[in-house]
Amino acid sequence: MKTQQRITESNLISLLGEPLHKEVVTYFVKETGATRQDVERQVTECLRYLFLVSRYRSELAGLFLPVEQHIDEIWHYLILQTREYRALCEERLPGRVFIDHRSIGYEEYAEEPGRERTIEEALRWIPLYCAEFGPFEEEAVAHWTIVRFLRDRMDLSLTDIAALRSARAA
């Protein structure tokens, strides 16, 4: 059985392109006062989000993926670089399709489909994330609302979270 090769941070930077990656990091370090290391992690998690949405369109289409506001702001910045963003979506990400954006808060979204469905949808992408990038690292937790909730409020370890399967996969 062939094992899937994981997508690394270097792979993601290559998809974005080193010049745009540097530009985004420099911009957000200056705008937010965050450290370069923190902003680089934020950009990585934003690219992981886009990668998942692109690769797993049918599984994740229309779902709310609970990333934090700073990830959304990085995505906004990328969208404003219209030529580069279109090329990223349509030429370099695996789905080869433009990824539209819709800003909506988690509480607002949870009202639309209902709490139980919202939880199922939030959990659906965790196995996909782990399959592509490996188990969640401590540095990634701050950027994914549901992962932080599962760890901090439900007392699940990152190993436990990586072992979760969606209700559809069970």
Give the Cα-Cα-Cα angle 161, 111, 153 (nearest 5 degrees).
30
Residues of the chain with pLDDT under 70: 1-3, 102-115, 118, 166-170
The number of residues making up the chain comes to: 170
Instruction: Tell whether 170 is covered by a domain.
Output: no
Total tally of structural domains belonging to the chain: 1
Instruction: Tell whether 169 is covered by a domain.
Output: no
Side-chain-side CA neighbours of residue 114 (13 Å)? 2
Instruction: Tell whether 3 is covered by a domain.
Output: no
Note the pLDDT of residue 18. Answer: 96
Note the pLDDT of residue 168. Answer: 46
Instruction: Tell whether 1 is covered by a domain.
Output: no
Note the pLDDT of residue 170. Answer: 45
Note the pLDDT of residue 107. Answer: 54
Dig out the tokens for 62 from the structure.
Answer: 């229309």
pLDDT in tens, 17-53: 999 999 999 999 999 999 999 999 999 999 999 999 9
